Amino acid sequence: MKDLVVFGGLSHPELLTAVCNRLGIPEGKTKLCKFSNNETSVEIQESVREQDVYIIQSGCGTVNDNLFQLLIMINACKVASAKRITAVLPHFPYSRQPDIPYQPSSGAPLPKLPPATPRGGLASGQVTPNTSTTEDVSKQLMKQLTKVSLQEKQVDQDGKPAYRQWIARSGTLVADLLTCAGVDHIITMEMHDPQFQGFFDCPVDNLVSLPLMIKYIRHEIPNYQDCVIVSPDAGGAKRATSIAEKLRMDFALVHKERRRSSSSSSKKRDLMLVGDVRGRDICIVDDIVDTSYTITRAARILRENGARKIYALVCHAILSGGAVRNIEDSCIDQLIVSNTIPQNDHLQNSTKIKVYDVAPIFSEAIRRTHFGESVSMLFDPQFEII
Q: Look at residues 92, 61, 93 and name the one whose alpha carbon lies nearest to residue 188.
A: 92
Closest CA to 96 of 266, 325, 294, 312: 294
- The answer on pLDDT for 219 being more than 80 is yes
Report CA Rg, the chain.
Answer: 26
Q: CA 42 → CA 52, 78, 118, 146, 280, distances in Å?
A: 19, 13, 74, 54, 53
Q: Supply the CATH number for residue 57's domain.
A: 3.40.50.2020
For residue 48, what pLDDT is reported? Answer: 96
Which one is predicted more confidently, 113 or 352? Answer: 352
Q: Are residues 191 and 217 in the same domain?
A: no
Last residue of a domain, one of 188, 207, 226: 207
Q: How many CB atoms lie within 10 A of CB 85?
A: 26
For residues 258 and 328, membership in a common domain is answered with yes
Alpha-carbon distances, residue 226 vs 111, 217, 244, 279, 281 (angstroms): 50, 12, 11, 10, 7
In percent, the amount of the chain with pLDDT more than 70 equals 78
Q: In this model, does residue 125 exceed pLDDT 90?
A: no
Does residue 381 fall inside a structural domain? no
Residue 150 placed within a domain = no
- Kindly state whether residue 374 falls inside one of the protein's structural domains: no
Is residue 197 situated within a structural domain? yes
Q: List Cα–Cα distances, 187 to 78, 151, 190, in angstroms.
A: 18, 40, 10
Q: What is the mean pLDDT of residues 157-183?
A: 75
Return the percent helix, strand and coil in the chain, to nearest 5: 35, 20, 40
Q: Do 214 and 203 lie in a common domain?
A: no
**Same domain flag for 312 and 218:** yes
Q: What is the pLDDT of residue 379?
A: 85
pLDDT the model gives residue 123: 45
pLDDT score at 110: 42
Boundary (domain end) residue, out of 207, 230, 254: 207
Do both 202 and 57 map to the same domain? yes
Query: Same domain, yes or no, for 82 and 230?
Result: no
Which residue among 154, 184, 207 closes a domain?
A: 207
**Is 239 in a helix, a strand, or coil?**
helix
What is the pLDDT, as a whole number, of residue 95?
A: 84
Contact assessment for residue 67 and residue 59, using Cβ atoms and an 8 Å cutoff: yes
**Structure confidence at residue 132 as a pLDDT band (50, 70, 90):** low
Same domain, 322 and 230: yes
For 172, the domain range is 4-97+168-207
Q: Is residue 202 part of a domain?
A: yes
Same domain? 198 vs 172:
yes
pLDDT at 226 over 80: yes
Are both 27 and 73 inside the same structural domain?
Answer: yes
Residues 196 and 250 in one domain: no
pLDDT on residue 160: 55
- Residue 236 confidence (pLDDT): 87
Least confident of 131-140, 151-160, 275-284: 151-160
Mean pLDDT across 97-102: 53
| pLDDT-above-90 percentage for the chain | 65
pLDDT tens profile 138-149:
556 555 544 444
Say if 154 falls within a structural domain: no
Q: Which residues in the chain belong to E strands, given as ranges?
A: 4-8, 30-34, 40-44, 52-56, 84-89, 185-189, 204-207, 228-231, 250-260, 267-274, 282-289, 310-317, 334-338, 353-356
Do residues 173 and 279 both lie within one domain?
no
Of 43-57, 168-182, 299-313, 350-364, where does mean pLDDT reach its minimum?
168-182
Q: Identify whether residues 201 and 217 lie together within a single domain.
A: no
Q: How many domains does the chain have?
A: 2
Q: Convert the pLDDT of each residue in 232-266 to its tens digit.
A: 988 889 889 999 999 999 999 998 765 555 555 45
| Cα(111)–Cα(132) distance, integer angstroms | 18
Residue 249 lies in a domain: yes
Residue 132 covered by a domain: no
